[in-house]
Every structure is written in C-alpha cells, then in structure tokens.
Amino acid sequence: MSEKGLSTRHRIIKAAETLVLKHGFAGTSLDDVLRETGLTKGAFFHHFKSKAELAKAIAENYAEADMKMFVDWSAQADRLSDDPYERVMIFLKLLEEFLDGLTEAPQGCVLAAYVYASGMFEPAVREYVRGRLDWWQCLYEKKFQALIDARPPAAPVTARALAEMIASIIQGAFVLGMAFKDRELMKRQSQQFRHYLDLLFRPRAAA
C-alpha cells in the first residue's frame, strides 16, 4: 500500500459509498464506480479481491469515521460538564451543531442501507453492521444510565429504551430527510428528543 495506492483505494471506497447510497449495493456496478473514479477493472481488482470486499471496506470506512465523531462529541461533552443531564444535552447539541454545518440533505446511513439489502452481504458483513449499530446504542445507553442513576425520571423509562429511541429517531430521520430532501429534519428530531429528556429529567420548579 503505497501513498498513491492508498489514496486510490480510498477514492474507490468514497465513490462507491455515494453510489451505493443512491442506487443500493446491487444497483451499483463496478463499472459505475470505475466510471466515477476514471479507473479500470485492473485497478479495482488490484486493490480489492472482489466486490464483496469493497462492500466490507465501505462499511468499515463509514462506521469508523462515524464512531470517531461520536467519541469526540462524547469526550467533549464529558469535559464540559460533570452533570449527566448536561452531558447528554451537550452531546446532542454537538450533534445538532454538526448537522447545522451540512449544506445538503442527508445521503443516508451506510449501515441502514446494508440492513435494507442484507441478503446481498456475507454473514460477516451483516454481523459487522449489527455490531456497529449496537456499539452506537451502547454509547447512548451508558449516558442515559448515568442520568437515570443521578435523577429519577418523571416516567418509568430505562436507559436501554432511551438509547433505542434516539437511535431509531436518527435512523428514521435519515429515511425521511432523504425522502423529503429536508436538510434540517434530523436536527429538529434531535431537538424534539431533548424536549423529552427535559421533561423526564430536568429538575421541576418545585425543587
């Protein structure tokens, strides 16, 4: 993997990712990817032993970048406050800030795209996708558990259920944001979820 080779590999992955989110994995031919990158069959099979390996690479590339962002926001939130409630809120606001910076409607989540064509992928890739989604949910769950431990919620909720909820909201916002080409839908959803947390956990006036 020389300097140039790695960048070619990465160019293939990024071009393929965009195409896969538009046409699905099966709907994206290698020729499509090669047309997009200006490369040839020879180049592709020099870097990937099969289309299936490309699928794996796209998922890994996407998921790792995604995880890094979330880990960063989490660390930043934990640095800015000691309070579990504030930590969750800051975390979500950092996400919203990021969403605000985007100039286009969402392209979609690669993991969800794979879930919606899971039959096309090797079991190992399906497992990987499931694992990343689970990791993501666990990240949230820990935050909510700290929150619930610190303050009694105003309704009987579990950390797991809240984590599932925000994960669902984000995934759903991808689908609807794409369908309606709405750049701000996901941000509104995050805000809405913060309202819920607010009602659940913010100290009442009575206190």
Q: Residue 188 binds which entry of a copy of itself, DNA, none, with Cβ cut-offs from 5 to 8 Å by kind?
A: a copy of itself
69 neighbors 91 (Cβ within 8 angstroms) = no
Question: Counting contacts by CB under 8 A, is residue 112 touching a copy of itself?
Answer: yes
# binding residues, a copy of itself (CB under 8 A): 52
* Per-position x/- string for 113-142, each x denoting binding to a copy of itself as judged by CB under 8 A, each - no binding: x-xxxxxx--------xx--xx--x-----
Residues 6+ apart with CB under 8 A from 184: 99
Question: Counting contacts by CB under 8 A, is residue 95 touching a copy of itself?
Answer: no
- The DSSP result for 81-137, as a single string, is -S-HHHHHHHHHHHHHHHHHH--S-----HHHHHHTTGGGS-HHHHHHHHHHHHHHH
- The DSSP result for 3-32, as a single string, is HHHHHHHHHHHHHHHHHHHHH-STT--HHH
* Per-position x/- string for 169-188, each x denoting binding to a copy of itself as judged by CB under 8 A, each - no binding: xxxxx-xx-xxx----x--x
Question: Counting contacts by CB under 8 A, is residue 55 touching a copy of itself?
Answer: no
Binding site for a copy of itself (CB under 8 A): 21-27, 108, 111-113, 115-120, 129-130, 133-134, 137, 154-157, 161-162, 164-165, 167-173, 175-176, 178-180, 185, 188-189, 192-193, 195-196, 198-200
